[in-house]
Structure 1
Amino acid sequence: MRIVAIRDIVAPIRSQIANAYIDFSQMTASVVAVITDRVVDGRPVVGFGFNSNGRYAQHGLLGERFMPRLQLADPEALLDDRGLLDPARCWAAMMKNEKPGGHGERSVAVGVLDMAIWDALAKAERRPLWRLLADRYNGGVADDAAWVYAAGGYYYPGKDVEQLTAEMRRYLDLGYRHVKMKIGGVALADDLRRIEAVLALVGEGERLAVDVNGRFDLPAALEWGRALGPYGLKWYEEPLDPLDYLAHAALATQYDGVIATGENLFSMQDARNLVRHGGLRPDRDVLQFDPALSYGLVEYLRTLDMLKAHGWSPRRCVPHGGHQFALNIAVGLQLGGNESYPQVFAPFGGFADDCPVVDGRVRMPDLPGIGFEAKNDLWAVMKTLLD
């Protein structure tokens, strides 16, 4: 199995929505195709990948460093003992001559290609990625479905509380039981009114999570935490700068509810620093590392091993991103669940078209690879790479 071509495009994820920190009016994503000489059912095996929302397209890094390294590597050095692409060996080739630390945007570029390589490998084996992962790394055991929650509740011009609750009602009608909304972009009193309106709809605090997107300093996080505590929310997400571990540790001594964070940490080493120094509690808190943004699944497997060594269960991991790659990982490695974007970040958010959410859970299709071809709006973008 040889890589014969790699292609990439930049696709828009434009929207007028905003969280407490950024708006998405200029957001883009990289989409790649790794084309191989392996033929299955009369067609060459092609793996596809893209980066999650919140980080921009990586066309320069992909074209200047990471795609050429895969293409110029000794083809035999990228294969396992069966002659198939080995994601770990491909990862090592991509990271050749890269210094440690300073992970920055390169973790996103590598993550895009890593996703495509896993997609190609699973297709070459004629298996869904979730089944391949369960068989390789989890004793053959996979979950029958993944818990998912609907992420939304963004700010945009003119959006009032009535529109917010209408949005959340749509998510419930789609089959979700838990929803998440943005906070921190308006005054505390105004956000409390927004929260209480959604709570009146969903019925209990455990069904609502809130997300600050790293906007607060410690005094603000503590103030808002005191206000949020009585609601008994599902979690209080990214209340602080993601790299301020000491502030997280201080907050954890004062906020008894669940803290969720990690989506903006992009390596095993960063994740390790969080669990070593961030004061998070393995019995309740949630880790949201996104494999598409953090060097891919090869690195995510290292992160899971590290977490187990530090007393954390994979069930405390609920990846950010709302994409099919993380969904396959959540099912195959029995994580705690997966984010979902049912009505934002099209076409990248959401899952296969014929995989409905039933009582807050999604069952996986039995499709080779990650299953992008079963999501029509996303497949319409990806297949342009084959022209």
Structure 2
Amino acid sequence: MRIVEVRERTFPIASQIRNAFIDFSQMTLSLAAVVTDEVRDGRPVVGFGFNSNGRYGQGSLMRERFVPRLTGADPESLLDDTGLIDPHRAWDVMMSNEKPGGHGERSVAVGVLDMALWDARAKLEERPLYDLLAERHGDGSADRRVWVYAAGGYYHPGKGDQGLKDELQSYLDRGYTTVKMKIGGATLAEDRRRIEAALSILGPGQSLMVDANGRFDAEEATAYLRALEEYDLHWYEEATDPLDYEGTRAVAEARTRVPLATGENLFSHQDARNLALYGGLDPERDYLQFDCALSYGLVEYLRTLEALRPLGWAPSRFVPHGGHQMSLNIAAGLGLGGNESYPDLFQPFGGFPDGVRVEDGCITMPELPGIGFEGKSDLAEVCASLLE
């Protein structure tokens, strides 16, 4: 078999929201389709992939470097012993002639294509990706029930405390038990008022996360920490710049109880290992948020899991950023601790297949071939437009 062509297009996911660092008024993402010459049910098998919010589309990198390497390679070099696409071999081809380090934006471009290759591979085997992952990289059995939390609570023009409460309550009403809001984009006094407003709507078994998006230096992050420890929070996310391991360590050493979460803006297993070695995090109570769609894809994510395992980090402490179905499949197949979810934002790329509902904070993965994009009708329509 061979890859016939790779198509990609940039799509807007703009919104009038902001976090502590950026606004999303011009946000985009890349959608890619890997078209094969294999046919199932009378149609070519096509794998789809896209990147998470926050890093913009990467079409030029794909067109100039990574797609030509895929389509120009000897077709046999991309296949495993069964004669099907091997995402690991394809990854090696895409990353040929690339220097180590300096992960930047290329990790996003490769992550998009890697997602599409895994989607195609699972479709070729006519099985869900999580089932394939459990068999080949997990303990042999997938757990289709995945914990998810609702991400939102962005700063928005004209949105006061009641608007924040209404938004978060809508997530709780849809079955989520944990919700997340942004901090660091206002004064500490204002953020404390917003946090207290959010906490006021929570009932038994429900919790709140706060996310500073790397806005603070160590001193500012620790000042916020002293205030946050008055509250019963699920976690305090990205307190410092993602590469400021010393700052992360300072916050970790200053805290007494609030768990920390970080990692969504680290893009390689080497960076992840440095975080684990030097960031002062506790693998028994803290969380890691690496996002395969931003960090060279699942091939690299598997390396990250293996690199951190000897340092005490079990898969259950990984809760990926991004809110996409690829990470849901990884969570179900490899036993991760859960996944981020955007109930209303960045559509149609976020969310779940049609008919999937959140119950007691969890969803049950449907039995769809591949990643399951075709099971979400609005996303399926956008994917299909790429092939027209």
Match of residue 359 from structure 2: 358
Deviations along 1:207-262, whole A, 9 cap, x unmatched?
A: 10000000011111011100000212000000100000011111111113100000
Q: What is the 5 A alignment of 1:99-110?
A: 99-110=99-110
- Aligned counterpart, 1:373: 374
Mapped pair 1:283 → 2:284 = yes
What letter corresponds to residue 32 of structure 2 in structure 1?
V
Deviation of 1:206 (Å): 6.3
Decide whether the 8 Å contact of 2:283 with 2:317 is kept in 1: yes
Change in Cα spacing, 1:222 to 1:176, as seen in structure 2 (3 Å) is same
**Shift of the alpha carbon at 1:135?**
0.8
Report the Cα offset of residue 204 of structure 1: 6.3
Aligned to 2:259: 258
User: How far off is 1:347 after superposition?
Assistant: 1.3
Distance 2:59 2:353 in 1: 26
Partner of 2:332: 331
The aligned counterpart of 1:384 is 385
Structure 1 segments unaligned to the other structure (5+ residues): none
> Residue 196 of structure 1 corresponds to which residue in structure 2?
196
Q: Is the 8 A contact 2:49 2:113 kept in 1?
A: yes
Could you tell me which residue of structure 2 aligns to residue 130 of structure 1? 130
TM-score, normalised by the number of residues in structure 1: 0.99
- Answer whether contact 1:183 1:212 (CA < 8 A) is retained: yes
Within a 5 Å distance, the mapping from 1:229-308 to structure 2 comes to 229-256=229-256, 257-308=258-309
Q: 1:247-288: per-residue Cα shift (whole Å, max 9, x none)? A: 111111111310000000001111011001111111100000
Say how many residue pairs are matched.
387
Report if the CA contact (8 A) 2:139-2:334 is conserved. Answer: no
**1:1-387 alignment runs, 5 A limit:** 1-203=1-203, 207-256=207-256, 257-387=258-388
1:205 Cα deviation after fit = 9.3
SS across alignment from 2:229: helix
> What amino acid sits opposite 1:292 in the alignment?
A
Q: Distance in 1 between matches of 2:346 and 2:17?
A: 10
- Distance in 2 of aligned mates of 1:58 and 1:167: 31
Consecutive aligned runs of 4 or more in structure 1 exceeding 6 Å deviation: none
What CA deviation, in whole Å up to 9, does each residue of 1:16-36 have, x standing for no partner? 010010000000000000000
Q: Find the aligned partners of 1:307 and 1:204 in 2 and give their Cα distance.
A: 34
1:178-202: CA deviations, max 9, x gaps? 0000011111111111111111101
Q: 1:144: how far off?
A: 3.0
Q: Is the deviation greater in 135-144 or in 191-200?
A: 135-144
Secondary structure class of the residue paired with 1:230: coil
Distance 1:194 1:204, change over 3 A: farther
Cα deviation per residue 1:106-143 (whole Å; 9 max; x = unaligned)? 00000000000000000000000011100111131211
1:41 CA displacement: 1.6
8 Å CA contact retained: 1:205, 1:232: no
State whether residues 152 and 179 of structure 1, in contact with CA within 8 Å, keep that contact through their aligned partners in structure 2: yes
Name the CA distance, whole Å, in 2 between partners of 1:144 and 1:323: 15
Is the CA contact 2:177–2:206 (under 8 Å) kept in the aligned structure 1? no
Residue-by-residue CA offset, 1:283-317 (whole Å, 9 max, x unaligned) = 10000000000000000000001111211110000
Q: Distance in 2 between matches of 1:291 and 1:380?
A: 24
In the aligned structure 1, how far is the partner of 2:215 from the partner of 2:107? 23
Q: 1:74-132, CA deviations, whole angstroms, 9 ceiling, x for partnerless residues?
A: 10000000000000000000000000000000000000000000000000000000111
Q: For the Cα contact (< 8 Å) 2:215–2:241, is it kept in 1?
A: yes
Tell me if the contact between 1:61 and 1:106 (Cα under 8 Å) persists in the aligned partners: yes
Residues 329-386 of structure 1: CA deviation (Å, up to 9, x unaligned): 0011010000000011111111112111111001001000000011122112111111
CA distance in 2, matches of 1:248, 1:286: 13
Please give the secondary structure, in 1, of the residue aligned with 2:200: helix
Structure 2 vs 1, CA of residues 136 and 314 (structure 1 numbering), >3 Å: closer, same or farther?
A: same
Q: Give the Cα separation in 1 of the matches to 2:182 and 2:250.
A: 23
Amino acid across the alignment from 2:105:
E
Aligned counterparts of 1:291 and 1:89: Cα–Cα separation in 2: 17
RMSD over aligned CA atoms reads 1.0
Native 8 Å contact 1:205 1:233 kept in 2: no
Counterpart contact for 1:28–1:56, Cα < 8 Å: yes
